[in-house]
């Protein structure tokens, strides 16, 4: 089966959950199908073709530059039997390949443009283009993969013209042999953490979706013994970058032990920070699944997260962590949940152990890949 996998992010350029998903899905698909990965970047390797936006569009709106990559990917897909795309950055390429080559298009929805209106702040009028590309592709796709049950409901709510039978739930996965407790401390020492004090950890991009401003306000009054570590970078816009910096400055003035790591850390360092954290916190306002919560659970760390999107399908409230309702009082609720976990280390230990067990038992990438290939086979039979 000759499959073309289209994505913006692919190692070494992975900065979000969609990129992590594609990295591990591709790894597990390779023994099962003849796979070519098409991604953004320069150069090529065995089975990986990288594409850059057209130089004539340097300085143009990012949506137009994205479309130029989609055109290049489409041209390179000749001879593939099926195309599978991830995020709006690649969806148009899959749609064009479906029309040009007469092959089925499967797309995985990691998020939905109608539910991310703040993207207009980043893309300007390009948000209308990204929304058009996603809508056009999703309504014509042969199959749509939702990464959670909640995401499936969101897809059908945003795109009522889509046949519900075309929308299939295949959860995100986690490599629990890679994401596992690492009790080394060199990464903690490099950050400058006091190992005698617990710390609360956030890992994610500086974007409206991830709710970082809510977290920065929520942790002002948590247990003063706790440190706060923010692995936060890749701001969407200068405005949200400035907002983050101002809130971080305010937080640093009212409590000590606050650390900001703006660069992307190597995965082994992130795993070590996850392992030693008293808890991982995910304050997202929108999250189709939240793969980073799975990463924390696989490292044996309890999770405090917002009860939005697919997060409740990952974090078992009261067993592997605590869920906080979004809406009014969210920041106060987040602070209470953080203090609850900090205040009961034995309960936190049990949550961490249950989280590791859940990640291993229910979210392995090998099972995700097998379910995906079965979907490919079903679609090709219908073609």
pLDDT recorded at residue 286: 87
Looking at the fold, whether 258 and 237 belong to one and the same domain comes out as yes
Q: Does residue 122 have a pLDDT over 80?
A: no
In a domain, 178, yes or no: no
In a domain, 181, yes or no: no
Q: What is the mean pLDDT of residues 168-183?
A: 93
Q: What is the mean pLDDT of residues 230-254?
A: 93
Looking at the fold, whether 284 and 356 belong to one and the same domain comes out as yes
pLDDT recorded at residue 44: 77
- Report d(CA 227, CA 220) in Å as an integer: 11
pLDDT recorded at residue 212: 94
Looking at the fold, whether 100 and 220 belong to one and the same domain comes out as no
pLDDT recorded at residue 367: 86
In a domain, 15, yes or no: yes
In a domain, 134, yes or no: yes
Q: The domain containing residue 81 runs over which residues?
A: 2-173+364-382
Looking at the fold, whether 38 and 115 belong to one and the same domain comes out as yes
From 170, 203, 108, select the one nearest 364 (Cα to Cα).
Answer: 170
Q: Which range among 51-55, 99-103, 283-287 shows the weakest confidence by mean pLDDT?
A: 283-287
- Report d(CA 48, CA 224) in Å as an integer: 48
Looking at the fold, whether 141 and 217 belong to one and the same domain comes out as no
In a domain, 179, yes or no: no
Looking at the fold, whether 192 and 155 belong to one and the same domain comes out as no
- Report d(CA 177, CA 196) in Å as an integer: 28
- CB burial class (10 A; 0-12, 13-18, 19+) of residue 45? exposed
Q: Which residues pair with 317 in a beta bridge?
A: 321
Instruction: Give how far Cα 374 sits from Cα of 29, 32, 133, 327, 379, Å.
Output: 11, 11, 27, 39, 9
Looking at the fold, whether 276 and 341 belong to one and the same domain comes out as yes
pLDDT band at 326 (very low <50, low <70, confident <90, very high): very high
Looking at the fold, whether 300 and 314 belong to one and the same domain comes out as yes
pLDDT band at 208 (very low <50, low <70, confident <90, very high): confident
The pLDDT tens digits of the residues spanning 346-369 come to 999 999 999 999 999 888 898 899
Q: Does residue 43 have a pLDDT over 80?
A: no
Q: Which of the 8 DSSP states describes residue 343?
A: T
Q: What is the mean pLDDT of residues 210-233?
A: 96
Q: Which range among 7-21, 57-71, 102-116, 148-162 shows the weakest confidence by mean pLDDT?
A: 7-21
Looking at the fold, whether 228 and 125 belong to one and the same domain comes out as no
- Report d(CA 32, CA 30) in Å as an integer: 5
pLDDT recorded at residue 328: 92
Looking at the fold, whether 232 and 150 belong to one and the same domain comes out as no
Q: Does residue 14 have a pLDDT over 90?
A: no
Looking at the fold, whether 53 and 69 belong to one and the same domain comes out as yes
In a domain, 180, yes or no: no
CATH number at residue 300: 3.40.50.2000
In a domain, 249, yes or no: yes
pLDDT recorded at residue 78: 97
Q: What's the total number of domains in the chain?
A: 2
pLDDT recorded at residue 120: 81
Looking at the fold, whether 121 and 219 belong to one and the same domain comes out as no
pLDDT band at 255 (very low <50, low <70, confident <90, very high): very high
Q: Which range among 190-194, 261-265, 347-351 shows the weakest confidence by mean pLDDT?
A: 261-265
């Amino acid at each position: 089966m000759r499959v073309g996998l289209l994505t913006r992010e692919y190692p070494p350029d992975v900065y979000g959950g969609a990129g992590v998903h594609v990295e591990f899905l591709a790894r597990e698909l390779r023994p099962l199908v003849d796979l070519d990965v098409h991604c953004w970047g320069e150069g090529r390797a065995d089975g990986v073709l990288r594409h850059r936006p057209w130089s004539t569009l340097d300085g143009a709106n990012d949506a137009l530059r994205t479309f130029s990559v989609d055109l290049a990917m489409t041209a390179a897909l000749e001879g593939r039997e099926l195309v599978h795309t991830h995020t709006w950055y690649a969806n148009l390429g899959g749609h064009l390949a479906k029309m040009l080559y007469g092959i089925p298009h499967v797309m995985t929805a990691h998020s939905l443009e109608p539910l991310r209106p703040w993207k207009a702040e980043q893309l300007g009028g390009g948000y209308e283009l990204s929304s058009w590309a996603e809508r056009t592709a999703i309504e014509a796709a042969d199959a749509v993969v939702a990464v959670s049950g909640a995401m499936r409901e969101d897809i059908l709510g945003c795109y009522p013209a889509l046949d519900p039978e075309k929308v299939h739930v295949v959860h995100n996965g986690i490599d629990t042999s890679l994401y596992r407790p690492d009790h080394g401390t060199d990464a903690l020492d490099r950050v400058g953490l006091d190992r005698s004090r617990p710390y609360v950890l956030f890992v994610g991009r500086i974007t409206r979706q991830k709710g970082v401003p809510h977290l920065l306000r929520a942790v002002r009054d948590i247990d003063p013994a706790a440190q706060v570590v923010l692995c936060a970078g890749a701001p969407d816009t200068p405005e949200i970058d400035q907002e983050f910096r101002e809130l971080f400055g305010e937080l640093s003035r009212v409590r000590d032990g606050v650390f900001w790591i703006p660069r992307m850390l190597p995965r082994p360092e992130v795993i070590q920070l996850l392992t030693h954290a008293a808890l991982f916190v995910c304050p997202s306002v929108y999250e189709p699944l939240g793969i980073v919560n799975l990463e924390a659970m696989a490292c044996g760390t309890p999770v405090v997260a917002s009860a939005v999107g697919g997060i409740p399908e990952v974090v078992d409230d009261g067993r592997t962590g605590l869920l906080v309702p979004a809406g009014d009082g969210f920041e106060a609720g987040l602070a209470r949940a953080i203090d609850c976990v900090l205040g009961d280390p034995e309960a936190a230990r049990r949550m961490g152990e249950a989280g590791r067990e859940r990640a291993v038992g229910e979210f392995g990438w090998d099972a995700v890949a097998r379910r995906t290939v079965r979907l490919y086979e079903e679609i090709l039979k219908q073609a």
